[in-house]
A and B are shown apart, each in its own frame.
Chain A
Amino acid sequence: MRVLLLTLASQFLLLAGCGEVWNDPYPAAERGGNILYSVFGERPKHLDPAQSYASDEAVFTRQVYEPPLQYHYLKRPYELIPLTAAEIPQPRLVEKGGATYSVYDIRIRPGIRFQPHPGFVAGNLRLDPQKIKALKSPYDLAQGTRELVADDYIYQIKRLAHPRLHSPIFGLMAEYIVGLKEYGERLKAADKPDQWLDLRAHDLEGVTRVDAYTYRVTLKGRYPQFVYWLAMPFFAPMPWEADSFFSQPGMAEKNFSLDWWPVGTGPFMLSENNPNARMVLARNPNFRGEPYPSEGAPGDAERGLLADAGKAMPFVDKAVYTREKEAIPLWNKFLQGYYDLSGIGSDTFDQAVRISLEGEAGLSPEMEARGIRLDTTIAPTVFYLGVNWLDPVVGGNSERARKLRHALAIAVDWEEYLSIFANGRGVPSHSPLAPGIFGYREGKESVNPVTHEWKDGKAQRRPIEAAKKLLAEAGYPDGRDAKTGQPLVLYLDSTSRGPGDKAVMDWWRKQFAKIAVQFEPRQTDWNRFQEKLRKGSTQLFMVGWSADYPDPENFMFLLHGAQSRVKTQGENAANYVNPEFDALFERMRNMPNGPERQHIIDRMNEIFRRDAPWIGGFHPKNFALFHSWLGNAKVNEISDNKLKYLKVDAAGREALRRQWNRPKVWPLLVLFLAIVVSIVPAITTYRRRERMAARPVS
């Protein structure tokens, strides 16, 4: 026994002393590899570029698919640059039959090749079902490649209308791309169950091939935002061979589909697809090698973000994404060095961040000691307290309702909300536009004069007396209807998120109570909440919007009358209608950025502030943490194709992981000894009992 104990103890001590880590969640073979480690929370639903729209899917799709354009990684405000295109396409306006058309000729660079894929081997397009059944991965088959051509882009645009796919932008694009709507109908008629629908056999009027490397897209009217869509995977190339390959009988039963096995020309290819546990992107051996940017935003050079200028990307060989559904393990593994980057949740904010007296966010001493870097940015997102324009009390154009909304807009203290519930991670919104978007004004001009005044060089919320005065003018002195004497009760619809909601609802009650207005929360689940919005049966509600692209049109359309949620199921959840605003929006949406567009946006902001269809809101500020070994990391909220820019100092990471994760064996030994010690009295008692002589019954 003693020998066994000593052997065990010496083994433990040996292992602890040799520098080996025990809690490394990755295979030993990966140690020291040029690999980036990150996480994903939700299992991606779609990896097919015609269907994928969610940000958690973009983490994968944007590294694999290459649309013609992309955003500059470093420059701010965000700037479109070519990716596979030779240049940014400029529209030609054509008049035909009394109508105006925008014609985009998109020229792609020759010599770009697809990742290795079995679809490019002719023999794999007619596989025996038994062979498919035996496959573990489509990559078990022989693989080939070929050059990217214009037809691949055309094929993908046609797929937006595929009757078996659900492209979220089909409805929008059918309004613009000539013939796309009718094309969808034609495909529906031509589609036969269990057969591959070869889109090459069906021409689309508005999308044509000019030459092997150029394709033409014809749009109805003007739509300058179209170039932003050309930076999204919806417009990435799709080789017909891949579509045909995955359409073979037996593929669906094996979960082999374009929705799960993307095929692209990008720097990475999906080499392991286990959405339940781990997704792996491996370097695409056929990638052409794109140079790292040589220009950036002010301060980027000082931060070392231009040190790799001109070097061929990507820098890492592989990226391993592990599924983490819970925040605590994710955060702890980041601190142990097993994830290279992380966001900050509310639970971990205090551990990671210190706010200075000046309100500046900085890292806590613990994070600084680990060499972790912090990057913050205001997201192109807006969360707002919307007013249902159809509601008879708070909605509509009447002076009474407008003054009531203004009173509420002053009373609801968004600065306090951000401080209490978001650790100060956000800025109150004064217009629908987020900072960094064209049309957003800085300084005094950015301030909503209804709710704030400019004092001592900063925006300050107007005193609550101003709100009370407006409320009285609206016919609700001291929160009671002057005519009926009844107290004013307002209802806030929201989705229930758990026990933490009570504090939020108490805060809302406090805001309304400042002007003696009674507040009634109506919490429900997400489905019912959305249904209420669709039916217009809300009064006040809280929703948010993240921009698809950095253009004012993508924010202002949230207030466009034609987008009314009740009337058209559009994105205008407030159902706000103002003919002047709508007319200005129609003009602004098709204009290039410039003084005239700025002037129109300023006027739209004036109308927005006067009408107050939103009672304020905020733009969230995102915090990202990067370990010291992760290079070229910069937060980019619009584009997700960041992986190719990132580099890893694998040796440095390995050394720090060892330092941070030395196993502590002594608690195990103590535990073992404690168990032994606790067993001894039991054994002694047992032996004593067994040896005890029989006793007379007393």
Chain B
Amino acid sequence: MLNYIIRRLLYAIPILIGVNLLTFLLFFVVNTPDDMARMQLGARRVTPEAVEKWKAERGYDLPLVWNSREESLFGKAGRTIFTQKSAKLFVFDFGYSEDKRDIASEIRERMWPSLALAVPVFLVGLAVCITFALLMAFFRATYLDLWGVVLCVAMMSVSTLFYIIGGQYIASKTWHLVPISGYAGGLDAARFLVLPVVIGVISGIGSSSRWYRTLFLEEMGRDYVRTARAKGLAETVVLFRHVLKNAMIPILTGAVVVIPLLFLGSLLSESFFGIPGLGSYTIDAIQSQDYAVVRAMVFLGSVFYIVGLIFTDISYTLVDPRIRLE
């Protein structure tokens, strides 16, 4: 297994270079270094000299990907914005944002509010969706199953934004049960997180439950389930001890891969609920054309995704003894 993990980690290097290059190209197709300088310096009384100075200070006065003024090949490829800005990422040196804030300390600070929201949504959501899907599977072909599926399809069709605005309107504005938005550290965070967590869970029920239901029904049609029932096992035992265990492989595929991404937070929820996490950090960076932060967050996202996929592979071996990572 160790060899497999090392091989996968080595594969990650060209993937990360590719992701970096793609981010770089997409960003600089839309924004030039001049645009970035003007965005950071403000719209008023910005002189061309100030723009040049800003670019020179941050290394944006270099060519984008190829420096023809350099003599050596190393210089031509190395003395460019792309190489100078990307190389340090591979040792997780994120540098400074364009407004001179240390990105690593921002990430360390903002990761916790993101996790405080994302982890409960993930865990509670998983539990609720599995339970709901099991219920539908248990009562298959009854009115409960039919209306459950209808409810799932309806819930899938509604935008997350609607859940957020509706939730804030009902729970906070009309019933006055929780704060509309905001965040606090420590245990006080709980009262700010109740509503976004509930909304996060509810908004995910439709699609996940429907998918899990399909998985459970597929398993319930198999011979070993019939055998278990023929032995006289209670239906709950059949469901929880046999069906659930065997349906876990595809569920794990979807669930484990997102665990590392929980660090990156939720773009929409964090904005609407005023949670100072990494999701809103990324949105702010895109809006303010802060390439340093965008680059760092995309890189981090890619790393987490790769790690998530490796975790998924490992988790297969844990739930299915037939699978070996060679």
> A322 in the interface, Cβ–Cβ < 8 Å?
yes
Q: Which of B50, B174, B181 contacts A168 (CB 8 A)?
A: B50
Measured between beta carbons, the chain B residues less than 8 angstroms from A323 are 274, 276
Question: Which one of B36-44, B60-68, B241-249, B311-319 is at the interface?
Answer: B36-44
CB–CB A172/B45 < 8 A:
yes
> A662 in the interface, Cβ–Cβ < 8 Å?
yes
Asked, given contacts A23-B177, A43-B284, A171-B50, whether A254 binds B102 with beta carbons under 8 Å apart, the answer is yes
| Nearest CB on B from A170, distance (A) | 8
The complex places the Cα of A280 from the Cα of B284 at a distance, in Å, of 21
CB–CB A322/B30 < 8 A:
no
Question: Which one of B72-80, B135-143, B208-216, B220-228 is at the interface?
Answer: B135-143
CB–CB A663/B177 < 8 A:
yes
Q: Which of A254, A569, A685 contacts B105 (CB 8 A)?
A: A254
| Nearest CB on A from B179, distance (A) | 4
Q: Which of A43, A169, A333, A685 contacts B142 (CB 8 A)?
A: A685
Interface size of B as a range: 35 or more
| Nearest CB on A from B55, distance (A) | 11
CB–CB B176/A23 < 8 A:
yes
| Nearest CB on B from A531, distance (A) | 8
> B144 in the interface, Cβ–Cβ < 8 Å?
yes
> B159 in the interface, Cβ–Cβ < 8 Å?
no
Q: Which of B50, B99, B180 contacts A23 (CB 8 A)?
A: B180
CB–CB B176/A663 < 8 A:
yes
Measured between beta carbons, the chain A residues less than 8 angstroms from B165 are 328
Measured between beta carbons, the chain A residues less than 8 angstroms from B188 are 27
CB–CB A168/B35 < 8 A:
no
CB–CB A527/B35 < 8 A:
yes
CB–CB A332/B180 < 8 A:
yes
> B192 in the interface, Cβ–Cβ < 8 Å?
yes
The complex places the Cα of A166 from the Cα of B54 at a distance, in Å, of 8
Shortest Cβ distance from A548 into B: residue: B44
> A460 in the interface, Cβ–Cβ < 8 Å?
no
Measured between beta carbons, the chain A residues less than 8 angstroms from B280 are 276, 325
Measured between beta carbons, the chain A residues less than 8 angstroms from B127 are none
Q: Which of B35, B43, B183, B271 contacts A326 (CB 8 A)?
A: B271
Measured between beta carbons, the chain B residues less than 8 angstroms from A661 are 176
Q: Which of A21, A252, A260, A686 contacts B235 (CB 8 A)?
A: A686
CB–CB A255/B235 < 8 A:
no
> B324 in the interface, Cβ–Cβ < 8 Å?
no
The complex places the Cα of A322 from the Cα of B179 at a distance, in Å, of 13
Q: Which of A168, A170, A259, A525 contacts B30 (CB 8 A)?
A: A525
> B157 in the interface, Cβ–Cβ < 8 Å?
no
CB–CB A53/B102 < 8 A:
no
Measured between beta carbons, the chain A residues less than 8 angstroms from B284 are 43
Q: Which of A166, A322, A682 contacts B144 (CB 8 A)?
A: A682
CB–CB A255/B54 < 8 A:
no
CB–CB B235/A332 < 8 A:
no
List 20 contacting pairs A-B, 8 Å CB cutoff, sorted by A.
A22-B191, A23-B172, A25-B180, A27-B184, A45-B99, A46-B99, A168-B41, A171-B45, A172-B45, A252-B102, A276-B280, A277-B182, A277-B274, A329-B272, A527-B35, A527-B38, A663-B175, A664-B174, A665-B177, A690-B235
Q: A333-B180, A685-B142 are in contact. List 20 more A-B contacts (CB 8 A).
A: A22-B177, A23-B177, A53-B42, A54-B42, A168-B44, A171-B49, A171-B50, A252-B96, A276-B280, A277-B276, A322-B274, A323-B274, A325-B280, A326-B181, A328-B168, A527-B32, A662-B176, A682-B144, A685-B139, A686-B138
